[in-house]
Amino acid sequence: MSQLRLRFLSILLLYCIFFTSSFLMINALTCRPDQIQALLHFKNEFESDGCNRSDYFNGVMCDNTTGVITKLQLPTGCFTGILKPNSSLFGFHQLRYLNLSHNNFTSSSLPSEFSNLNRLEVLSLGSNGFTGQVPTSISNLILLTHLNLSHNELTGSFPLVRNLTKLSFLDLSYNQLSGTIPSDLLLTLPFLSYLNLKKNQLTGPIEVPNSSSARLVYLSLGYNKFEGQILKPISKLINLKHLDLSYLNIRYLIDLSIFFPLKSLLILDLSRNRILPASLSSDSDITPSLENLVLVRCDISEFPNILKTLQNLKHIDISSNIIKGKVPEWFWKLPHLSIVNLVNNSFTGFEGSSEVLLNSSVQLLDFAYNSMTGPFPIPPLNSIYLSAWNNSFTGNIPLSICNRSSLTVLDLSYNNFTGPIPKCLSNLKVVNLRKNSLEGSIPDELYSGASTQTLDVGYNRLTGKLPRSLLNCSFLKFLSVDNNRIEDTFPFWLKALPNLQVFTLRSNRFFGSLSPPDQGLLAFPNLRILELSDNSFTGSLPPSFFVSWKASSLKINEDGRMYMGDYKNAYYTYEDTLDLQYKGLFMEQGKVLTSYSTIDFSGNKLEGQIPESIGLLKELIALNLSNNAFTGHIPLSLANLTELESLDLSRNQLSGNIPRELGSLSFLAYISVAHNQLKGEIPQGPQFSGQAESSFEGNVGLCGLPLQGSCFVQPTQQHKEEDEEEEEDQVLSWKAVVIGYWPGLLFGLVLAHVIASYKPEWFGKIVGPDKHKQVDPVRLFMTLDSRWDSFNNKNSVEQTKK
């Protein structure tokens, strides 16, 4: 029996090793088989389609001696479901490290059974969707040094943590906790060095005993509902290095001098508070060690002269204030300055010469959305990110940008630049020159291996053709040349770019057929947005036009949005912009890579039928084929586009009915089929009833809501027409009777005479009992005729009753 059991355990162990990664082959040998089985049982409690065995077991560690699991770290997005109190998780009593963050336990409350894991030292449950109050039993985990409950939907008062005397890391940020912070919090947690309470609904003051000031180095209290003086106690925390007090919701002005005692402070965020103006212009020494200062939306009206004293400053963000005038020349001489954000102010330019930025140490410089005029300054030598969109710079784009080998992102859109596009596009990952007055053609000098991912030159005065050297940009994702004067045929050759996702050439002079020369397939492997409107394309689209358009599935970002490209950097985020004709409106849309999958062929001269293969693009959100000459019926395959929100087929020559199947598209918010040759009743349902009348006008044969006319005749009118028809039938019937009456009369007289001559006894049954009375043949016929009329009248009454 023992041999059989040993053999079974061996097989089970081999089974577990076979279905896990090579990591498990190294580490699972130290895990007992029953522990592995319990781990698989825990996995089966949830939907775990996005969690393969390899990823699951990579975060598992067991004790080398006992074989019990001591560490469990789930991969991001591994589990979906409710964490129940009877979960097998709470049977791992030897766990010391548990990280379930970034999963989906939505609608789950925090089970009090976590207290069963009383050997835990690290418990991380962030970004899971947990709701309700934090159970008081959490205070039983007295060995905890790290507790993370951030980014959930937890409510109630501040959790009981005073028993967790070994705690050094506590993160309760981005919840809905209310009430006050316990007055003895920092006193009872002597080792606490990290405290993050940002974005809750906490109120009241905070108390800081002197004895607790030695340990805390990170404190974030921003976006709460504090009232009263909470800054003075914080000034006692002399070892703080990171302090976030953004949006404290306090009424008084903050004096920066309150932070002078914090000599170790490196990062200070006071965004969305009001700063005392005098403290910004002070020449006194503020914290000399300060490296990052964030003063976003603080109603600052003058450039802060206090920055002169911050010789260690690396990152300054004074965006979204009301600062006027020019940026002082001394500012660029700060020796360690690396990241500067001056966005959304009223700056008019820079003090000094055009070379004022040249020798600055700045690498990331953003002064977008200001009122700067004149020629563009020569950028810093070490520039990585340079953004000046939405200003009023004039003249040529300086050629010195071509000598900045480190430059990655160049955004000079929405200015008044003239002249040609510099010929060094290959060096840059992002080039946005949109909405200027640039002339000439797009440089045809993109070399092989170019790093360009975004090229946006829309809304300029460019001419010529699309450069064939674009084929060298294998990383290209976003290409926009809309609203120029480019004259060319459709560039089918761009399908060789494996990563192209967005392509727009709206409002140019493109011409010719859209039918691909090879097999009629528009074979762009990853294309999602194709904007061809307002050109001169002609011909028809072959039936197989969309068959090979196989874009991969949309990915979901952590904030729940869809995205296609990733331009994120440790210090900046770049987002593409696109003009879209969407839901009947023409609008500029930012973050296009996170929201849309669209096709717009409107405003051309396309004809023939709309290909049924359009129904294969199941992730399509917007389709615009308006203002063409398409004929035939509306494709039934459109009903397969389950994500469709906007459909515009107006101003074509489409015929037939509107397919009722479109009513199954639950996201369809806008539809226009105006000015076609459609007929029949407009399908009824929420997708159609909420549309404007103008969405269906110009179709003589269409009827039904929301059009004014009805497909059904009114009952009174219908009865009137029926009466007129009955009257007409009666007139026709009497005419027939009159026509047939006289020949019948003559025939009857002859017949009566014959009968009277040969069978006189028949008359007794008809005219009366007096069989000896002489019978008049004419009277006999009249009698027969009147009885026949009586019979007909009787039948007519019965039919009417029926």
pLDDT of residue 730: 41
Sheet of 629-631, strands arranged across:
511-513, 536-540, 605-609, 629-631
Provide the token pair at 262: 């914090």
489-703 has the same fold as 81-249: yes
Query: For 686-721, b where at least 16 C-beta lie within 10 A, e where not — what string?
Result: ebbeebeeebbbebeebbbbebeeeeeeeeeeeeee
With H, G, I as helix, E, B as strand and everything else as coil, classify residue 84: coil
User: Of 33, 26, 30, 31, nearest to 12 (Cα)?
Assistant: 33
Q: What element of type H or E holds 537?
A: strand 536-540
Greatest CA separation for the chain: 151
* Helix or strand run (H / E) with residue 7: helix 2-18
The tokens for 186 are: 């920092």
Mean pLDDT in consecutive groups of 10 residues from the start of the chain, 802 residues: 41 40 46 91 85 80 93 89 93 95 90 95 95 94 97 95 94 95 86 95 81 79 83 87 92 86 92 92 74 96 93 96 96 96 97 94 96 96 95 95 92 96 90 96 90 94 96 93 96 92 94 84 83 95 84 48 47 67 60 69 96 90 95 95 93 95 90 94 84 90 81 53 45 37 42 42 41 39 40 43 39
pLDDT value of residue 326: 96
pLDDT computed for residue 345 by the predictor:
97
Angle, helices 715-758/777-801, rounded to nearest 10 degrees: 150
What pLDDT, on a 0 to 100 scale, did the predictor assign at position 748?
46
Can you tell me the distance from the alpha carbon of 672 to that of 689, in angstroms, rounded to the nearest whole number?
12
State the SS3 of 188-240: HCCCCCEEECCCCEEECCCCCCHHHCCCCCEEECCCCCCCCCCHHHHCCCCCC
Residue ranges with strand state E in 250-396: 267-269, 292-294, 315-317, 324-327, 339-341, 346-350, 364-366, 373-374, 385-387, 392-395
Q: Are 633 and 655 in contact (CB under 8 A)?
A: yes
Exposure letters 633-645 (e unless 16+ CB within 10 A, then b): ebbebbbbbebbb
* Phi/psi-derived region of residue 254, left when phi > 0, alpha when psi is between -120 and 50, beta in every other case: beta
Q: Which two tokens stand for residue 2?
A: 């023992």
Q: What is the structure's pLDDT at 581?
A: 64
Domain spans in the chain, listed from the N-terminal domain onward:
81-249, 489-703, 715-789
Which pLDDT score, from 0 to 100, does residue 786 have? 40
pLDDT at 241: 95
Q: Which CATH superfamily is domain 489-703 in?
A: Ribonuclease Inhibitor (3.80.10.10)
Contacts (Cβ under 8 Å, ≥6 apart) of 193: 168, 169, 215, 216, 217, 218
Structure tokens at 356: 């004022």
DSSP bridge partners of 66: none
Give which of 321, 283, 320, 322 is closest to 305, Cα–Cα: 283
Q: For tokens 């360009």, what's the residue?
A: 452
DSSP state of 578: E
Determine the pLDDT at residue 734: 32
E strand or H helix that includes residue 40: helix 33-43
Write out 459-513 in H/E/C secondary structure.
CCEECCCCCHHHHHCCCCCEEECCCCCCCCECCHHHHHCCCCCEEECCCCCCEEE
CB 584 within 8 A of CB 608: no
At residue 648, what are phi and psi to the nearest 5 degrees?
A: -125, 110
Q: Quote the CA–CA distance of 648 and 641 in Å, as a whole number.
A: 14
One-letter-per-residue 3-state SS of 757-800: HHCCCHHHHHHCCCCCCCCCHHHHHHHHHHHHHHHHHHHHHHHH
214 Cβ contact partners less than 8 Å away, ≥ 6 residues apart? 239
Classify domain 81-249 at the CATH topology level.
3.80.10
| C-alpha Rg value of the chain to the nearest Å | 41
The identity of residue 74, as a single letter, is L
How far is it, in rounded angstroms, from Cα 79 to Cα 100?
9
Residues 41-96 have pLDDT tens digits of 998 899 887 677 777 888 899 999 999 999 999 888 888 999 999 999 999 999 99
What pTM, to 2 d.p., does this model score? 0.79
Distance CA 481, CA 651 (A): 26
Burial class (CB in 10 A: 0-12, 13-18, 19+), 22: exposed
For every residue of 148-165, DSSP letters joined together read E--SSEEESS----TT-T
Is residue 440 classed as helix, strand or coil in its secondary structure?
strand
Closest CA to 301 of 329, 273, 320, 328: 320
Residue 735 identity (one-letter amino acid): K
